[in-house]
Amino acid sequence: MKILKNVFELNKAVKNYKNVGFVPTMGGIHKGHESLIKISQKNNKETIVSIFVNPTQFNQKKDFKNYPRNIKKDISILKKLKVNYLFLPEVNEIYKKKMKNFKLNKSDKILCAKYRKGHFEGVLNVMNRLLSIVKSKNVYMGEKDFQQYMLIKRILGKKYKINIVGCPTIRENNKIALSTRNKLLNNSCIKKASKIAIKLDKIKRLSQTNKLLDLSKSKYELENKFKIKIDYLEFRDEKKMKLDNFKFKYRLFIAYHINGVRLIDNF
């Protein structure tokens, strides 16, 4: 695996992006990232993974500082997976060029865009920068972060004329979606998060036969039973992300705080 620390090294190593799939990450590589990499490897001759913890998408400095990092372990996993290239830039390398910033439309200010001010602007800006450097035609992103995937697909997929490929959420046996942030949870929180995921999965299944489910009641019950703070618990369709639109395929979206850690998921 070639480790490339800057744009110069990357351009020297990767001359032709035809058949190079791209998996952008913030590291803390887990089975969710691994599944994206495997899908890329299946559909492209070579795969490039980036690890870049992007400071501009964290709305709290403390959250950025506490974000789990373990680059040595990440490199060893990526080598085992036979990833061809790891792009590992410093913050200055990504932000040295002046580029236009993105703004969200009013209709996009839902779910995490509503509760994490500036987050998706930061995500779009860093992805715009990464995609202007890593010129792959196929980019693999997780449906675990469905709103992020949809925004990037619509705005940057179109701009760069590339395929943003949505990949299914990988879960532990206890139903928790794999996430780098899970490393911040203690055992008792993991048990709670598992029960919450099982409950949400059940609510989603019930909704398929009963559209009159009262989500505000479920929200109240979950908050009281598990002592969590829920930012949102909403059904939205996959296409336009409209609230309670059951005409198309839809998902149940949640963001909640447990012991100071914010988790998101969808079912």
Q: Of 32-40, 86-94, 108-116, 248-256, which part binds ligand AMP (CB under 6 A)?
A: 32-40
CB 34 within 8 A of CB 81: yes
Number of shown-chain residues binding ligand AMP (CB under 6 A)? 17
170 neighbors 150 (Cβ within 8 angstroms): no
**Is residue 122 near ligand AMP by the rule CB under 6 A?**
no
Q: What are phi and psi of 213, to 5 degrees?
A: -55, 140
The yes-or-no answer on residue 119 being catalytic is no
Q: Does 179 bind ligand AMP (CB under 6 A)?
A: yes
Structure tokens that stand for 162 in this block:
């590339």
Span from 30-38, 59-67, 74-82, 205-213 in contact with ligand AMP (CB under 6 A): 30-38
Check residue 33 for interaction with ligand AMP (CB under 6 A).
Answer: yes
37 Cβ neighbours under 8 A, 6+ residues apart:
23, 47, 49, 78, 81, 83, 140
Catalytic annotation, pick one of 30, 33, 119, 257: 33
Of the candidate residues 142, 234, 241, 252, the single one contacting ligand AMP (CB under 6 A): 142
Applying CB under 6 A, does 36 fall inside the site for ligand AMP? yes
DSSP assignment string, 121-142? HHHHHHHHHHHHHS--SEEEEE
Containing H/E element for 165?
Answer: strand 163-167
Give the Å distances, CA to CA, from 116 to 26, 75, 103, 152, 265: 18, 30, 14, 17, 15
Q: Which of 250, 238, 241, 240 is nearest to 211 (CA)?
A: 250
Q: How far is the CB of 81 from ligand AMP (least distance, A)?
A: 14
Residue number, 56 or 169, with CB nearest to ligand AMP? 169
Among 86, 177, 255, 258, binds ligand AMP (CB under 6 A): 177
**By the rule CB under 6 A, 125 interacts with ligand AMP:** no
Q: Which two tokens stand for residue 135?
A: 């010129």
127 near ligand AMP (CB under 6 A): no
- List residues binding ligand AMP (CB under 6 A): 25-26, 32-33, 35-36, 141-142, 144-145, 167, 169-170, 177-180
- Which residue numbers are catalytic? 33
